[in-house]
Structure 1
Amino acid sequence: MTIRQEGAGAWYHRGQAFCTTRKFDKAIVCYDKALELSPDDSVIWRRKGFALLKIGRYDEAAACFDRALDLDPDDATAWQRKGYALAHLGAHADAVACCDKALTLAPKHLLAWQCRGWLLEAMCRYDEAVDCYEAVLAIDPDRRSAAWHRERMRERRDLEALASEIREAERFVEVPACIREVVTERDYGNVGLARAVLRELVERAETAAVHRPG
């Protein structure tokens, strides 16, 4: 719950102005002044965390979001931004959990969906990442970055499927080099064709095996 004291608000708004002009170091100084006067203001803690994120001080940012969430556990944006900080610290699973918490509190939190998609992409969980970008586009159909990422995730998912199918096919046929090269060269445009050709080769091998005498 925000309990901003008189005087703290002025420092807070100065910090906001500095953030708008991307002077994040100066914004942090202002937020610190505000917190001296109103140390239990969750919004100021969250805003300080945001400024720290923008200059790459992720450990400190995460600590600020923790403090904000101690004061207001239902702040979906603080959860989402904590997830972003943890992602940069390499704690991807914990970061996804933070995004999940944000989305439990605010199911249409666009940045939480987008952050979750980015995290799942980094974890090679492509189907789930596609679902996240679909959720973003359901909220904002004109968000081109989400549409771009959705298509890239579909491409990577299909390329991964082709690689798996090649490993399986090797039990039955000699896989042509041109099909292998689709994977090694990340030739996304020919993945569908390569998968179709590979399936046909395997089907022919299986049919031949069935009809082979003795």
Structure 2
Amino acid sequence: MATRDEDAERWYHRGQVLCTTRCFNDAVVCYDKALELSPDDPLLWKRKGFALIKAGRYDEAVACFDKALAADPDDATAWQRKSYALAHLGKHEDAVACCDRALRLDPEHILAWQSRGWVLGVMCRYDEALECYEAVLSIDPERGSAAWHRERMRERRELAALEAEIREAERIIEVPACIRDVARERDYANVDLARMLLCELARRAERAAIQRR
């Protein structure tokens, strides 16, 4: 912990307590009081940024992490948390870049891997997202949240493949409503069956077209 004013220390700990009770906006006020006394303390900026994320104040959170990183650019956690705030602002490419920076500093930073996987999933880059969750599980095989998200990415990847195959098949066949319903209703349990059926229908249509020539 950086050296800080004694009164700033008290405000810092008061903010910490308020965070544990989920009073995040009140915690921000405490961190501001601490920062008035120790304005160059990167930990105070980082803790304020965290409280702002929890309060849903993402623009302000990014500014706090920028302050923290100006003082300590090698703080992998600050980069990861900045990524999280940027993602909530819709700045997905910038969020991925922040995760990459965090992981260059700490290749086993689990939250950076998870944040990266989450953002890539939002961007529909499912294969890359899967790689992130695999990385988490290679570090911590018992991390259930990563295993859960890995399965969700697999499901979304397969659904995206079905949607693409439906668009392709529409050029040669009338796609049955039951297959369209699987995609429309996001019926993950039946995606594999729908893909196999669609493939067979398309194959039959292609064979029939060849025979008519």
The answer to whether the aligner puts 1:159 opposite 2:159 as a matched pair is yes
Q: How many residue pairs were aligned?
A: 213
Report how far residue 62 of structure 1 moved: 1.0
User: Percent of aligned positions with the same letter in both sequences?
Assistant: 72
Q: Which amino acid aligns with 1:11?
A: W
- Residue-by-residue CA offset, 1:125-159 (whole Å, 9 max, x unaligned): 22222222222222222222222222122111111
The answer to whether the aligner puts 1:202 opposite 2:190 as a matched pair is no
Report how far residue 165 of structure 1 moved: 1.2
Report how far residue 213 of structure 1 moved: 6.2
Report how far residue 50 of structure 1 moved: 0.8
Q: Which residue of 1 aligns with 2:109?
A: 109
Q: Which residue of 2 aligns with 1:142?
A: 142
Over the aligned positions, Cα root-mean-square deviation in angstroms equals 2.0
Q: Which amino acid aligns with 1:71?
A: A
Secondary structure in structure 2 of the residue aligned to 1:31:
helix
Instruction: In structure 1, list runs of 5 or more residues that go unmatched.
Output: none
Q: Which residue of 1 aligns with 2:18?
A: 18
**Distance in 2 separating the partners of 1:168 and 1:119:** 28
- Residue-by-residue CA offset, 1:62-96 (whole Å, 9 max, x unaligned): 11100000001111111111111112222122112
TM-score of the pair, normalised by structure 1: 0.89
**Distance in 2 separating the partners of 1:213 and 1:158:** 33
Mapping for residues 18-167 of structure 1, pairs under 5 Å: 18-167=18-167
**Distance in 2 separating the partners of 1:137 and 1:64:** 31
**Distance in 2 separating the partners of 1:209 and 1:69:** 63
The answer to whether the aligner puts 1:178 opposite 2:178 as a matched pair is yes
Secondary structure in structure 2 of the residue aligned to 1:36:
helix
Q: Which amino acid aligns with 1:94?
A: D
Secondary structure in structure 1 of the residue aligned to 2:107:
coil
**Distance in 2 separating the partners of 1:25 and 1:187:** 40
Report how far residue 61 of structure 1 moved: 1.1
Q: Which amino acid aligns with 1:136?
A: V
**Distance in 2 separating the partners of 1:89 and 1:173:** 41
TM-score of the pair, normalised by structure 2: 0.89
Report how far residue 43 of structure 1 moved: 1.0
Report how far residue 124 of structure 1 moved: 1.8
**Distance in 2 separating the partners of 1:32 and 1:106:** 29
Q: Is the contact made by 1:182 and 1:188 (CA closer than 8 Å) also made in structure 2?
A: yes
Deviates more, 1:64-73 or 1:53-62: 53-62
Q: CA 1:37/1:206 → structure 2, altered by over 3 Å: closer, same or farther?
A: same
Deviates more, 1:89-98 or 1:2-11: 2-11
Q: Which amino acid aligns with 1:20?
A: T
**Distance in 1 separating the partners of 2:119 and 2:161:** 20
Q: Which amino acid aligns with 1:93?
A: E
Q: Which amino acid aligns with 2:118?
A: W
**Distance in 2 separating the partners of 1:169 and 1:213:** 19
